[in-house]
Structure 1
Amino acid sequence: MLTIKHFTKSYKGGKKAVDDLNLVVERGDIYGFIGHNGAGKTTTIRSVVGVLDFEEGEIEIDGISIRKDPLACKAVTAYIPDNPDIYEHLTGIQYLNFIGDLYSVSKANREARIQKYSDEFQITPHLGDMISSYSHGMKQKLAIISALIHKPKLLVLDEPFVGLDPKAAHTLKGIMAELCRNGSAIFFSTHVLDVAEKLCNKIAIIKGGKLITHGKTEDVKGDHSLEDVFLELINND
């Protein structure tokens, strides 16, 4: 579903934010992307979803190059950044319908999915309110719902649990598992390592822009906790 081949991204001055990254995320995967601040996670994610251009390598979504046909890639992808920027002059339901229009989601499917996910995240009574009145957590929930309206084949998330209360975080984990059971794939970054260990079937750890280990979660962590393995790897120069 997502193939990253020899991906390299440099910024001004020639510093490589990501250096020769290779990863494959298959249908049904919940793939955790782990690293310290500045390791290259967000740069990779923004390049995957077409927000950032890059100099070297290739990124393909469902067999399509993000550089050659970004619209086709984005049509089957949903992206939730670490700090969702939502149009605050709209109500919640207006925003969700706007996203539904962008992806040409039918009225019946749109209404059913909005009802399902807004009930699960307990924001249905607030969909008529202006987004400017929402708390950070409510905006995060709305962004998640908007990402699910078109039933994406690939869901890309950057620190999705930040700002969510424990019940909402539990709900999101259940939705992520359900999506992957139905054939979608998820690629997400997180600093919450115990969540990644329990939720992800695959893990990649990046340090200083370079991939230092990846594979099935049980293979990456062995007989240790993911936290212990992560700390050992990033402290080992």
Structure 2
Amino acid sequence: MINIEGLRVEYGSKVAIENLNLEIKDGEIFGLIGHNGAGKSTTIKSLVSIIKPTAGKIFVDGLNLEENRLQIKNIIGYVSDSPDMFLKIPARSFLELIADIYGIDDDKRDERIEYLSEIFSLKNSLMGTIEEFSHGMRQKIFVIAALLSNPKIWILDEPMTGLDPQSSYNLKEMMKEHSKAGNTVLFSTHVLEVAEQICDRIGILSKGKLLFVGTMDELRATYPGENLENIYLDMVNTEHHLEIGEA
């Protein structure tokens, strides 16, 4: 379980996240929904210790993240929103490096690489350097790296971006299976249709503020008869108009 309490993130004079309180349960797929700049990636980067929040606390399975970073990192698989790292090395070498970091033995490593590269149709491309890959192929490599240790918690920032339809479908099915086993999946997206397909609950962010948390059915109940796109746009635009009025 992930608990976020009073999270605030500032970049200079800009407030990227403002007083975010959120609980993400074991055994669920939770989607962070929002347009570019809404605060999705900032929230995720706070969870995986890439950035240090200005204020607030994060707990994972009851452990304070600030005091237990390494222990918590060992149970998290993270996919960045920008698959542009380690470009100069072969994909296979990158995956082996990740396996070493997580302490995976060679036999298990090879088994997992074989299994995941088959799922994402990369089995015959692993000796190529990552910089030679298309954006979609790079995304697949970083998804494989995140899932290599079979971590309890998956934190995926726009994971479907660049994936071909079959790989996207396979990843969504894996997310469902992972949550059914009692694990946690948190992912961000700006595509409501994806969230509708697989999320148990969603949180809608706009300009660093959480506007809604709940199920898709609960979201629809707030605007009877409206489609999801109109509901989302109405929520975000209402927030924008309120800010203008307050100014």
The residue that corresponds to 2:187 in the other structure is 188
Shift of 1:205: 0.6
The residue that corresponds to 1:106 in the other structure is 105
The residue that corresponds to 1:215 in the other structure is 214
Aligned length: 236
Q: TM-score, normalised by structure 1?
A: 0.95
Superposed CA deviations along residues 161-211 of structure 1, whole A, max 9, x for unmatched, are: 111111111111111111112222111110111011111010001122111
Matched, 1:7 2:2: no
The residue that corresponds to 1:226 in the other structure is 228
How many angstroms apart in 2 are the aligned matches of 1:153 and 1:225? 34
Alignment map for 1:25-64 (pairs within 5 Å): 25-64=24-63
Matched, 1:166 2:160: no
Shift of 1:143: 0.4
Q: Which amino acid aligns with 2:3?
A: T
How many angstroms apart in 2 are the aligned matches of 1:153 and 1:85? 25
Is the deviation greater in 93-102 or in 222-231?
A: 222-231
The residue that corresponds to 1:131 in the other structure is 130
How many angstroms apart in 2 are the aligned matches of 1:132 and 1:212? 39
How many angstroms apart in 2 are the aligned matches of 1:132 and 1:45? 25
Shift of 1:219: 1.3
Shift of 1:155: 1.0
Q: Secondary structure at the match of 1:5?
A: strand
Unaligned regions of 5+ residues in structure 1, if any?
Answer: none
How many angstroms apart in 1 are the aligned matches of 2:84 and 2:63? 27
Shift of 1:235: 1.3
The residue that corresponds to 1:154 in the other structure is 153
Is the deviation greater in 148-157 or in 108-117?
A: 108-117
Is the deviation greater in 42-51 or in 124-133?
A: 124-133
Alignment map for 1:57-76 (pairs within 5 Å): 57-76=56-75
How many angstroms apart in 1 are the aligned matches of 2:93 and 2:68? 29
Q: Secondary structure at the match of 1:152?
A: coil
- Whether the 8 Å contact between 1:86 and 1:143 is mirrored in structure 2 is no
How many angstroms apart in 1 are the aligned matches of 2:127 and 2:39? 38
How many angstroms apart in 2 are the aligned matches of 1:181 and 1:90? 35
Q: Secondary structure at the match of 2:124?
A: helix
Q: TM-score, normalised by structure 2?
A: 0.91
Q: Secondary structure at the match of 2:230?
A: helix
- Whether the 8 Å contact between 2:83 and 2:135 is mirrored in structure 1 is no
Q: Secondary structure at the match of 1:67?
A: helix
How many angstroms apart in 1 are the aligned matches of 2:218 and 2:232? 13
Q: Secondary structure at the match of 2:66?
A: coil
Matched, 1:144 2:143: yes
Aligned-residue Cα RMSD (Å) equals 1.4
How many angstroms apart in 2 are the aligned matches of 1:187 and 1:17? 19
- Whether the 8 Å contact between 1:86 and 1:139 is mirrored in structure 2 is no
Q: Secondary structure at the match of 2:67?
A: coil
Q: Which amino acid aligns with 1:226?
A: L
- Whether the 8 Å contact between 1:176 and 1:186 is mirrored in structure 2 is yes
Q: Percent identity?
A: 38
Unaligned regions of 5+ residues in structure 2, if any?
Answer: 243-247
How many angstroms apart in 2 are the aligned matches of 1:155 and 1:125? 26
